[in-house]
Amino acid sequence: DVKVTQSSRYLVKRTGEKVFLECVQDMDHENMFWYRQDPGLGLRLIYFSYDVKMKEKGDIPEGYSVSREKKERFSLILESASTNQTSMYLCASSPPGRILSNSPLHFGNGTRLTVT
Amino acid sequence: EDKVVQSPLSLVVHEGDTVTLNCSYEVTNFRSLLWYKQEKKAPTFLFMLTSSGIEKKSGRLSSILDKKELFSILNITATQTGDSAVYLCAVDPNDMRFGAGTRLTVKP
């Protein structure tokens, strides 16, 4: 069974802090994704990666960066947290294949980040 | 342990058929149940359900929640090839719990 683990369930940070959200998957998946979910907006893609050291911007990359130094780990970085980044953050992975394939995403349980 | 179970895992139908997708859950502190349609890089939000017995409807899609029996169904009538996708159910009891998804294939 695929497991996607996000390091924190809840985080509270102050405006201007640097924030790291970590995600680890145990199924050797090549594709990994970071989304944020906000009420009424559904899931929005921030960044994704299809291989180690590779990254692609999603729909809302501003204010975020990512790191993929190892295949199993995909980190989301908020360089200087702002209140409008308060959200639920979801990491996901998917099996090898075309990045836009219909392979189901395996999601982590999410991190609720509050920026005060 | 919280869990969300979707059935069937995959389904193949022909255009014009009606399909029913199922989602059952066991979570603590239930807040809402969400349905997504996943075609490409980001699942598309379909419905959010918080109350039992109130049908949400959007075109040919509809969904209803039963909080007593802990399940929801997603109905699609008069299916079209464009309905082919993975349909995800998610439950929000403070964090997101997703089901494995149902892969729907609609053949011409």
Q: What does the pLDDT read at residue B93?
A: 56
Q: Residue A99 above 70 pLDDT?
A: no
Model confidence pLDDT, tens digit, residues A73-96: 999 999 999 999 999 898 988 776
Residues 6 or more apart whose CB falls under 8 angstroms from that of B78 comprise: B16, B18, B60
Which of A101-105, B40-44, B57-61, B84-88 is the least confident region? A101-105
Of B32 and B2, more confident: B32
Q: A112, B94: Cβ pair inside 8 Å?
A: yes
Contact A42 B88 (CB under 8 A): no
Give contacts of A99 with chain B, Cβ < 8 Å: 41
Nearest to B41 among A90, A100, A109 (CB): A100
Using the predicted structure, report yes or no on whether residue A39 has a pLDDT greater than 80: no
Which one of B86, B94, B95 has the shortest CB-CB distance to A102? Answer: B86
Q: What is the pLDDT of residue A40?
A: 54
Query: Which residues in chain B are contacts of A42 at CB distance < 8 A?
Result: 36, 42-45
Cα distance between the two ends of chain B: 41
Q: Report how far residue A69's alpha carbon sits from residue A71's, in angstroms, rounded to the nearest whole number.
A: 7
Looking at the predicted structure, is the pLDDT value of residue A102 above 60?
no
Residues B74 and B61 sit within 8 Å (Cβ to Cβ): yes
The segment with the largest mean pLDDT, out of A1-5, B4-8, B93-97, is B4-8
A54-83: b (≥16 Cβ within 10 Å) or e: ebeebeeeeebebbbeebbbbbbebeebee
Percent of chain B with pLDDT over 90: 55
The mean predicted confidence, pLDDT, of chain A is 86
List pLDDT tens digits, range A14-32: 999 999 999 999 988 888 9
B88–A59 C-beta distance less than 8 A: no
Q: How confident is the model at residue B64 (pLDDT cuts 50, 70, 90)?
A: very high
Strand partners of residue B25: B4
Residue of B81, B96, B97, B102 to mutate for A, most A C-beta atoms under 10 A: B96
Contact A105 B38 (CB under 8 A): yes
A104 touches chain B (CB under 8 A): yes
Task: Tell me the shortest Cα–Cα distance from A82 to chain B, in angstroms.
Answer: 21
pLDDT score, position B42 = 56
What strands lie across the sheet with B71-76, from one edge to the other? B3-7, B19-26, B71-76, B61-66, B56-58
A42 pLDDT band (50/70/90 cuts)? low
Task: For A1-116, list the strands marked E by DSSP.
Answer: 4-6, 10-13, 19-21, 23-25, 31-38, 42-49, 56-57, 64-70, 73-78, 87-94, 106-107, 111-115
**For residues B19 and B80, is the Cβ–Cβ distance under 8 A?**
no
Average pLDDT over residues B57-86: 95
A110/B41 Cβ within 8 A: no
Q: How far apart are CA B31 and CA B79, in angstroms?
A: 30
